[in-house]
Chain A
Amino acid sequence: AQKITQTQPGMFVQEKEAVTLDCTYDTSDPSYGLFWYKQPSSGEMIFLIYQGSYDQQNATEGRYSLNFQKARKSANLVISASQLGDSAMYFCAMREGSGAGGGNKLTFGTGTQLKVEL
């Protein structure tokens, strides 16, 4: 079974509109962390936002917020007020495991290509 599922291969959004990128995950570990990364056409991986499994509130970082629904095992990324520079591939990832190491493996989804239009 896929650990991280991103069901939207591509998305379009109008500039200044909000957009939600879907991510569902599968784990039996009670301790895990969820991450979103942005990969522009230049290829680098840029960290956006992190949500821990025990965090009570949804994470926010500027225009990015993570809609964390633990019972549904979903961790959707919401980008508010989209900008042309938001056009990129977006990856959801999960790290499982407890303890100081927190696990060493990030499991990635297949990504969602976002295109922001004028």
Chain B
Amino acid sequence: NAGVTQTPKFQVLKTGQSMTLQCAQDMNHEYMSWYRQDPGMGLRLIHYSVGAGITDQGEVPNGYNVSRSTTEDFPLRLLSAAPSQTSVYFCASREGGGYKTQYFGPGTRLLVL
């Protein structure tokens, strides 16, 4: 049971490049989310999914796309990277129903030059 895994751990992009941050969980959780963490601002929700085929926007969705074709995977796509997207990205998952604990992946550190 690996929990929530994220790849890559670290990535450097040039402005305008696109890339996909991978997230997978093996706990059969319905809910998956992407957060970004910036200094002094805590974590902010980018996008989330309540099940395969269902996604919705969070607090800061601009510049990011998501899809959920399977229960296990929830990739985050940066369409055209900007320096403002330099951040640490966390994927999280939890069971459905009530206030279940959210489990976080190890994070991906992204630097956009």
| Chain A residues close to B by CB (< 8 Å) | 4, 33, 35, 37, 43-45, 47, 50, 52, 91, 93, 95, 100-102, 104-106, 108-111
Contacts and interface: CB of A to CB of B under 8 A. Distances in A.
A52 B101 CA distance: 11
Nearest to A4: B42
A33 B107 CA distance: 24
Classify chain B's interface size.
Answer: 20 to 34
Contacts, number: 62
A111 B88 CA distance: 15
B99 A106 contact: no
Given A43-B109, A44-B107, A102-B99, 9 more contacts: A44-B106, A45-B104, A91-B42, A91-B43, A102-B98, A105-B33, A106-B102, A108-B43, A111-B42
Interface in B67-113: 88, 90, 92, 96-104, 106-107, 109
B99 A50 contact: yes
Given A100-B96, A101-B96, A104-B48, A47 B101 contact: yes
Contacts of B48: 104-105
Contact of A43 (B42, B92, B97, B107): B107
A105 B61 CA distance: 13
Nearest to A42: B106
Given A43-B106, A110-B42, A104 B33 contact: yes
Interface string B24-41: 000000010101000011
Contact of B97 (A50, A52, A100, A109): A100
Interface in B1-57: 31, 33, 35, 40-45, 48, 50, 56
A112 to B, nearest CB: 11
Contact of A105 (B42, B59, B104, B109): B59
